[in-house]
Amino acid sequence: MVSADKLKERNQRLEEEDKTYIWHPFTQMKDWIEEQPLIIEKGKGCYLIDIYGNRYLDGVSSIWVNIHGHRRPEIDRAISDQLKKISHSTLLGLSSTPAIRLGRKLVEIAPKGLKKVFYSDNGSTAVEIGLKIALQYWQQKGEKFKGKTKFISFTNAYHGDTLGSVSVGGIDLFHQIFEPLLFPTFKAEYPYCYRCSQGKGYPLCDLACLEQAREMIKAHHEEIAALIIEPLVQGAAGMIVSPPDFLRRLREICTENNILMIADEVATGFGRTGKMFACEHEGVSPDIMAVAKGITGGYLPLAATLTTDEIYQGFLGEYREKKTFFHGHSYTGNSLSCAAALASLEIFVKEKVLEKLADKIVFLTERLKKFNQLSRVGEVRQKGFMVGIELVRDKVTRQEYEFEEKIGIRVTGEARKRGLIIRPLGNVIVLMPPLSISLRELGEVVDITYESIKSITEQ
């Protein structure tokens, strides 16, 4: 038994050493070092437990990754069983049992036509790989297609933090400063209907954004290798949900104009929108699909880029032809990660996770209605278990809070005091709990969020 004094000393040392050694991602460290860091030591189900033993609901699934809760015995066991065999061996020139098994499963559950799995270890690299495969595919397809070296991406898009994925991003706050390092893309407008650039909103607009994208693609298809999109929900932009049919019609435009469609399902994949993949809502099969985050149930880093057989065939040839895809990371297809992913996918089947989720989504939709009564809530957006609550200074004019007001940070700070961990995206409060959350816990997530918004914005 460790004495209370020893524990206190240990905890204080951890807090000091965090500030001495760690540079946290997406964090203003000047603010961080002025506050007491919250250090997580354990997890159980939908709760995170800090070094003092305080429990917090994990309202954003540890940055959108956790699916079945923390310490799931089946996933714990799968990892420790794999650990007894081997933790990692390379996929460069070798294969591994869990990577093969998982590859098969991924193809089985993926949208129709995706047949090959290229592994990596995070969402950004899965996207980079998709972009590189698309480009190389056209370069090898024949003289006629050599001009297809550009991409079409969307305003407000987020595809990760590596330079290729930043190039196809569209969030100025994160991306603009790196402009000198980025490759140019064609930028189409993503339908952010609450702040419609036409001043109309759906359905009055008649999907004007789509027509604009169509014109852009028609005019430049000979230069465009692929279009990249976050299907149905732009996550990091603030959970912006596209209007019905937008994705399906975009798919048709891509096909008509002979450009590939890359679906970035890094955030939306593995049940988050209510179906295994967001593309399924509109019966869309992309040519390339990037997945990561929830793939291992939120346990270990793993990502995959899936492609059609046609794309894969385009890389086959004599060695001397140099059609090989010269890309690969050290931890590509890590065995522990693949074992975790297999166990996670088994839970989906065994526990009918998606069927059960349907009721929870209805419950969530119902409980979110009351947010519209709050004077500073402009819009509540939801697709499945992805929720964005946009706070505004003025509900009528939709005037935004100023960046300096840190309204999102203040609300989520308040939620933390009440036992809920959530993280904002600017002025948007995000909820994205694990799919395994109980109705009671989900109700608590919603209630704490409501009270926190009220207390901060209606003072």
Question: Based on CB atoms, which residue is closest to ligand PLP, 162 or 212?
Answer: 162
Rounded to the nearest 5°, which phi and psi values hold at 267? -90, -40
Question: Based on CB atoms, which residue is closest to ligand PLP, 122 or 153?
Answer: 122
Question: Based on CB atoms, which residue is closest to ligand PLP, 126 or 216?
Answer: 126
**Residue 208 Cβ, how far from ligand PLP at the closest point, in Å?**
24
Question: Residue 453 and residue 377: Cα distance in Å, rounded?
Answer: 9
What type of residue is 20? T
CB-based contacts of 169, cutoff 8 Å, min separation 6: 153, 157, 158, 159, 160, 175
Asked whether position 333 contacts ligand PLP by CB under 6 A, the answer is: no
Q: Looking at 98-106, 123-131, 204-212, 271-279, which segment touches ligand PLP (CB under 6 A)?
A: 123-131
Asked whether position 432 contacts ligand PLP by CB under 6 A, the answer is: no
Among 123, 191, 297, 426, which residue sits at the site for ligand PLP (rule: CB under 6 A)? 123
Considering only CA atoms, which of 152, 132, 304 is closest in space to residue 227? 152
Question: Based on CB atoms, which residue is closest to ligand PLP, 205 or 422?
Answer: 422
Asked whether position 158 contacts ligand PLP by CB under 6 A, the answer is: yes
Tell me, residue by residue from 77 to 116, as one string, x for binding to ligand PLP by CB under 6 A and - for no binding.
Answer: ----------------------------------------
Q: Looking at 15-23, 73-81, 156-164, 308-316, which segment touches ligand PLP (CB under 6 A)?
A: 156-164
Segment 273 to 332, residues that bind ligand PLP, using CB under 6 A: 292
Angle formed at CA 188 by CA 209 and CA 114, multiple of 5 degrees: 100
Question: Based on CB atoms, which residue is closest to ligand PLP, 329 or 454?
Answer: 329
Q: Looking at 121-129, 252-260, 272-280, 327-335, which segment touches ligand PLP (CB under 6 A)?
A: 121-129
**Residue 96 Cβ, how far from ligand PLP at the closest point, in Å?**
22
Among 69, 98, 160, 169, which residue sits at the site for ligand PLP (rule: CB under 6 A)? 160
DSSP-assigned states of every residue in 111-146: STTEEEEEEESSHHHHHHHHHHHHHHHHHHH-GGGT
**Residue 25 Cβ, how far from ligand PLP at the closest point, in Å?**
9
**Residue 235 Cβ, how far from ligand PLP at the closest point, in Å?**
4
**Residue 258 Cβ, how far from ligand PLP at the closest point, in Å?**
25
Question: Residue 459 and residue 446: Cα distance in Å, rounded?
Answer: 20
Question: Based on CB atoms, which residue is closest to ligand PLP, 304 or 448?
Answer: 304
**Residue 236 Cβ, how far from ligand PLP at the closest point, in Å?**
5
Among 128, 189, 264, 287, which residue sits at the site for ligand PLP (rule: CB under 6 A)? 264
User: Rg of the Cα trace of the chain?
Assistant: 22
Q: Is 139 exposed, middle or buried (0-12, 13-18, 19+ CB in 10 A)?
A: middle
Question: Residue 328 and residue 325: Cα distance in Å, rounded?
Answer: 9
DSSP-assigned states of every residue in 237-294: TT-EEPPTTHHHHHHHHHHHTT-EEEEE-TTTTTTTTSSSSGGGGGT---SEEEE-GG
Question: Based on CB atoms, which residue is closest to ligand PLP, 124 or 296?
Answer: 124
Question: Residue 156 and residue 192: Cα distance in Å, rounded?
Answer: 9
288-291 and 303-308 as β-strands: parallel, antiparallel, unpaired? antiparallel
User: Do residues 114 and 289 touch, judged by C-beta distance below 8 A?
Assistant: yes
Q: Looking at 102-110, 220-228, 260-268, 334-342, which segment touches ligand PLP (CB under 6 A)?
A: 260-268
Asked whether position 159 contacts ligand PLP by CB under 6 A, the answer is: yes
Question: Based on CB atoms, which residue is closest to ligand PLP, 303 or 448?
Answer: 303
Among 96, 122, 308, 427, which residue sits at the site for ligand PLP (rule: CB under 6 A)? 122
Residues, the chain? 459
- b/e burial code for range 293-307 (CB count within 10 A of at least 16 → b): bbbbbbbbbbbbbbb
Segment 190 to 249, residues that bind ligand PLP, using CB under 6 A: 230, 235-236
Q: Looking at 41-49, 158-166, 319-327, 442-450, which segment touches ligand PLP (CB under 6 A)?
A: 158-166
Among 127, 247, 442, 453, which residue sits at the site for ligand PLP (rule: CB under 6 A)? 127
Asked whether position 169 contacts ligand PLP by CB under 6 A, the answer is: no
What's the order of all strands across the beta sheet hosting 224-229? 114-120, 303-308, 288-291, 260-264, 224-229, 150-154, 186-188
390: number of Cβ within 10 Å:
24
User: Do residues 429 and 393 touch, judged by C-beta distance below 8 A?
Assistant: no
What is the token pair recorded at 161?
A: 């933090």
The residue count for binding ligand PLP (CB under 6 A) is 14
Question: Based on CB atoms, which residue is closest to ligand PLP, 230 or 414?
Answer: 230
Question: Based on CB atoms, which residue is closest to ligand PLP, 273 or 457?
Answer: 273
What is the token pair recorded at 393?
A: 């200074």
User: Do residues 189 and 209 touch, judged by C-beta distance below 8 A?
Assistant: yes
- Residues near ligand PLP (CB under 6 A): 122-124, 127, 158-160, 230, 235-236, 264, 266-267, 292
